[in-house]
Structure 1
Amino acid sequence: MTTDDLWPAPHVSERLDVTVDLPGSKSLTNRSLVLAAVADGPSVVRRALRSRDTLLMAAALTALGSEVDASGPDWTVRPGVLDRDAAVDCGLAGTVMRFVPPIAGLSTGVVSFDGDPHMRQRPIGEILTALRGLGVDVRDDGRGALPFAIAGTGTVRGGRVQIDASASSQFVSALLLAGATYEQGVDVVHEGKPVPSLPHIEMTVAALRRHGVEVDDSDANRWQVAPGVVRAVDDLIEPDLSNAGPFLALAAATGSSVTVRDWPAATTQAGDALREILAAFGCTIERTTDGLRVQGPDRLAGVDVDLHDVGELTPVVAALAALADGPSVLRGVAHIRHHETDRLRALATELGGLGADVTETDDGLALRPATLRGGVFHTYADHRMAHAAVVVGAAVPGVLVEDVATTAKTFPDFAGAWSAVTTPSGRG
């Protein structure tokens, strides 16, 4: 690591009153792209997020035979079927690693999958086992991890499959997104500890229904997708509410006012839980004609919050808890040990390195009031860790963020956008 890898997080010494425009949702963009690739005609994904994860998805679907024109703000997708061997680069995108293999079985070629080195540690075995049970030829030499290959035969039998999705809700979403294209559809039954991040499955179900797919989710831990046509639909992508996390947390950490423009009135995005979480810290939340406005308090209260369904928000929430005047407990997120990095250990290490009094628990973090200081905050190639770093840096001078560019995974030029709202010259 050199000094060129360290980005000085802007310290906010005055109260702000700013409005932020966010790029589109990664989760919605990639679900829309997958469904467009198996639809019955061309579709347009309007205001698609342009980031590393979504460009990897576009490239993966193109490798499988579709045409994805990502040259403008609205992406056109023309479905196609792969009739040759191909390779898919998953990068660090869990949605690519998990959502694309179920549709690769519809090809008539051998599709190989690999990604960045860390991706070989992320769980995928449950999906590969499920795909075998549904009639897909999976070749992974028994690893249950990247790299692996799918040998397509043009059709997939489908049917009932039992999985343990307690490590990731994406295991369920991946099978549901492809289910309508299978001869028997899919009937996915979860057996195990509670499924994390349920709002993401609800997002998948809502996306399928928009495309005319019949989904029965009336039974707990069971999702049935009927075989049938995936209708071509033009989707309009909402702002990414998880990426709103650091900006709204900026209000909380500095006693400022931050408005995120175009906050949807109703949404399946996990980031919508920020309204309730920030209120627990003592913030004032209101909807305005522009969007969602958060006014930070003079002093942050501690919180006791179960983040099981919204685990991706944990890094930003932990950053605020480290700045709070009272003790906090964050629980229900053991599964985020298997995200881009072991987020619980990483947060305990990096926040502790800046003086936070933080302890790992089996399923979360416990934090007690402490005086924080500047220093290097490592990101572990994890965009959410960078979000935590800049929130602390807004309240504590001298925080240096290692590899802030990792935020390009879901937010191009995040550092520029952050500087624009936190520094007088940026806002000018």
Structure 2
Amino acid sequence: MTDPARAVVEDPWPAPRARGPVEATVTLPGSKSLTNRALVLAAVADGPSVVRRALRSRDTTLMAAALTALGASVDTSGEDWRVTPGDLAGDAAVDCGLAGTVMRFVPPVAGLSSGTIAFDGDPHMRQRPVGEVLGALRALGIDVTGEALPFTVRGTGSVPGGTVVVDASASSQFISALLLAGARYDRGVDVRHDGKPVPSLPHIDMTVAMLREHGVEVDDADANRWAVAPGPVRAVDHLIEPDLSNAAPFLALAAVSGGTLTVRDWPRHTTQAGDALRGILAAMGCAVDLGDAGLTVTGPDRLQGVDLDLHDVGELAPAVAALCALADGPSHLRGIAHIRGHETDRLAALATELGRLGADVTEHPDGLELRPAALHGGVFRTYADHRMAHAGVVVGAAVDGVLVEDVATTAKTFPDFAGAWAALLG
């Protein structure tokens, strides 16, 4: 993690303060998780397809560029992105940026190429875990050099596939990465997890559901085992849902201001982890209603503390932790040791930055404990992590003088987040 004690902070953004109840309706960009899975499946499919309402953000444009480098054609000129599979031939370089999905989902596809594919990314990215995926690819018959970024995949045009055992306790993306390309392997892929419980299981459910939409046979009947049968990946058009995890700071704004906010087009049924916000906000005292207009949240007079296991929805932890720091009762967020391996060590970062603003917070190996305290203004550092920026602006909506460092890091999944947020607060 970047040194939290460094003195120089360039152009911190004054987080707007909510001076009264915020009343608004917002339309969110598309889901990054759905967009990048749809792009990978489209690139290995048996014909052209369209990803409708694709999220246009740094993570997704990096994915489009990576798949283009491997030989697919990804036309991102419009709202709907057109993908045509191509000959996975020739050498290429892939920039992962800060996108875990690019670093983990693209190497299994690169194994199908007949070239040497070099992977690298931002300096922060070199600390994120990927070794389990690379080791699994070797076991499946792919030539891989390296254990972390930068690394190289040398393809021979086909992958034997078969059974592989991984420890996915650090990230569910390890499983999804192997499943997405697995149908194109000669024997498919049979992935067994051996280790502590897999975090963020809804993301694996999302992967399995999308594979089945493409006509891929997936057996997930047994716990900790996912088997993809070999065969074609049918070309299918996808309509991308709004990114429900990106709804967290907006719905939190209703919670901290006592206002009412509606997120349009909230799906009735979804595999997105962000759907858990409905139950979390209700537990904190909000009124939550899912109707034809979308999801509407009205904040309470006083936010209640909560005791939550966020193991399956760890990406929501930063925004939820910010709410807990503003609650009238104690809170305990558990089951999220794995978010130490996200864009930054989010537990350490949240404890440091919330504590810097006066929060009474204790960092535990797998979570955070927060008690009521009077918060004050100051610089909230983000460590190049978009979810940390979300936490900072939520606190800033309730506390005067909060300055969020590098708010532009939110472009990872939400272009012009700062503009959208400022517009809501006038």
**TM-score (structure 1 length as normaliser):** 0.97
SS at match of 2:246: coil
TM-fit CA distance, 1:288: 2.6
TM-fit CA distance, 1:382: 0.1
Check if 1:262 corresponds to 2:268.
Answer: no
**Partner residue in 2 for 1:31:** 37
C-alpha distance in structure 2 between counterparts of 1:346 and 1:97, whole Å: 23
Asked whether the equivalents of residues 175 and 191 of structure 2 are also in contact (C-alpha less than 8 Å), the reply is yes
* The one of 302, 305, 320 aligned to 1:302: 305
Q: Counterpart of 2:273 in structure 1: which amino acid?
A: A
Q: Counterpart of 2:299 in structure 1: which amino acid?
A: G
C-alpha distance in structure 1 between counterparts of 2:424 and 2:417, whole Å: 11
Show structure 1 runs of 4+ deviating over 6 A: none
C-alpha distance in structure 2 between counterparts of 1:156 and 1:69, whole Å: 27
TM-fit CA distance, 1:82: 2.5
1:62-86, CA deviations, whole angstroms, 9 ceiling, x for partnerless residues? Answer: 0000000001100000001222110
Asked whether the equivalents of residues 260 and 296 of structure 2 are also in contact (C-alpha less than 8 Å), the reply is yes
C-alpha distance in structure 1 between counterparts of 2:114 and 2:24, whole Å: 52
* The one of 47, 56, 59 aligned to 1:53: 59
C-alpha distance in structure 2 between counterparts of 1:207 and 1:174, whole Å: 13
Asked whether the equivalents of residues 81 and 106 of structure 1 are also in contact (C-alpha less than 8 Å), the reply is no
* The one of 68, 76, 79 aligned to 1:70: 76
Q: Which structure 1 residue ranges, 5 or more long, are not aligned? A: 424-428
**Partner residue in 1 for 2:128:** 122
C-alpha distance in structure 2 between counterparts of 1:134 and 1:412, whole Å: 38
Check if 1:349 corresponds to 2:349.
Answer: no
Q: How does 1:321-340 map to 2 (within 5 A)?
A: 321-340=324-343
Q: How does 1:257-406 map to 2 (within 5 A)?
A: 257-406=260-409
Asked whether the equivalents of residues 355 and 361 of structure 2 are also in contact (C-alpha less than 8 Å), the reply is yes
Check if 1:162 corresponds to 2:165.
Answer: yes
Asked whether the equivalents of residues 43 and 234 of structure 1 are also in contact (C-alpha less than 8 Å), the reply is yes
C-alpha distance in structure 2 between counterparts of 1:301 and 1:412, whole Å: 32
C-alpha distance in structure 1 between counterparts of 2:272 and 2:190, whole Å: 24
TM-fit CA distance, 1:307: 0.2
C-alpha distance in structure 1 between counterparts of 2:11 and 2:174, whole Å: 34
Q: 1:380 to 1:4 in 2, by over 3 A?
A: closer
* The one of 130, 141, 144 aligned to 1:135: 141
**Partner residue in 2 for 1:14:** 20
TM-fit CA distance, 1:5: 2.0
SS at match of 1:243: helix
Q: Counterpart of 1:217 in structure 2: which amino acid?
A: D
**Partner residue in 2 for 1:113:** 119
**TM-score (structure 2 length as normaliser):** 0.98
Q: Which structure 2 residue ranges, 5 or more long, are not aligned? A: 1-6
TM-fit CA distance, 1:44: 0.1
C-alpha distance in structure 2 between counterparts of 1:287 and 1:267, whole Å: 13
TM-fit CA distance, 1:2: 6.5
Q: Counterpart of 2:185 in structure 1: which amino acid?
A: Y
Asked whether the equivalents of residues 211 and 231 of structure 1 are also in contact (C-alpha less than 8 Å), the reply is yes
C-alpha distance in structure 2 between counterparts of 1:3 and 1:384, whole Å: 18
C-alpha distance in structure 2 between counterparts of 1:177 and 1:305, whole Å: 31
SS at match of 1:388: helix
Q: How does 1:165-244 map to 2 (within 5 A)?
A: 165-244=168-247
SS at match of 2:212: helix
SS at match of 2:59: helix
Q: CA RMSD in A?
A: 0.8
C-alpha distance in structure 2 between counterparts of 1:63 and 1:252, whole Å: 44
Q: Counterpart of 1:29 in structure 2: which amino acid?
A: T
Asked whether the equivalents of residues 155 and 182 of structure 1 are also in contact (C-alpha less than 8 Å), the reply is yes
SS at match of 2:289: strand
**Partner residue in 1 for 2:3:** none
**Partner residue in 2 for 1:145:** 148
1:228-275, CA deviations, whole angstroms, 9 ceiling, x for partnerless residues? Answer: 010000000000000000000111111110100000000000000000
Compare 2-11 and 354-363 and name the one that shifted more: 2-11
Check if 1:84 corresponds to 2:90.
Answer: yes
C-alpha distance in structure 2 between counterparts of 1:420 and 1:261, whole Å: 17
TM-fit CA distance, 1:118: 1.1
C-alpha distance in structure 2 between counterparts of 1:409 and 1:270, whole Å: 18
SS at match of 1:5: coil
Q: Counterpart of 1:35 in structure 2: which amino acid?
A: L
**Partner residue in 1 for 2:110:** 104
